[in-house]
Amino acid sequence: MTERTLVLIKPDGVQRGLTGEILRRIEAKAYVIAQLTKSDAAPDQLAAHYAEHEGKPFYQPLVDFMLSGPIVAAVVEGNDVIKGFRSLAGQTDPTTAAPGTIRGDLGRDWGEKVQKNLVHGSDSVESAEREISIWFG
């Protein structure tokens, strides 16, 4: 089924100059980048985006990290792209993410309170629509 998903390239990915490499992997998989922006995240966008994690130990470090530099947001379209992008991204923890994935190939554990894992991808159709409206209105 054709879907759309919200991809964020987090500040570590942008700061390390990996935006092109990450977008290349998305396009190489024949997904379509329908919308693309680079901006500084606003605190209210992050509060909405990460509402489900509020209260967890990594919540505030995560928000601080996401405010530490510009991010790239993209709406990506394709057949089964929600599952497909999460497969391209790899597991949350860069240490155990499989080689061949974005996090497995390019991410590392920096030994900090938050996992700086380069990218975010929506986990369901409902999350994708909610997250796209947060970042693209």
Binding residues for ATP: 10, 58, 86, 92, 103, 117
Note if 120 is an active site residue.
yes
For position 114 contacting ligand CMP by CB under 6 A, the verdict is yes
Q: How many residues does the chain have?
A: 137
If the CB atoms of residues 3 and 12 are measured against ligand CMP, the closer one turns out to be: 12
Give the other-Cβ count within 10 Å of 17's Cβ.
8
Q: How far is the CB of 111 from ligand CMP (least distance, A)?
A: 11
Q: Which of 115, 122, 131, 132 binds ligand CMP (CB under 6 A)?
A: 115
Q: How far is the CB of 67 from ligand CMP (least distance, A)?
A: 13
Packing angle of the helix pair 81-89, 19-28 (nearest 10 deg): 130
For position 62 contacting ligand CMP by CB under 6 A, the verdict is yes
- Residues numbered 84 to 103 that lie near ligand CMP (CB under 6 A) are 92
CB 74 within 8 A of CB 62: no
Q: Which residues bind ligand CMP (CB under 6 A)?
A: 53, 58, 62, 92, 114-115, 117, 120
Report, as residue numbers or ranges, the catalytic residues: 120
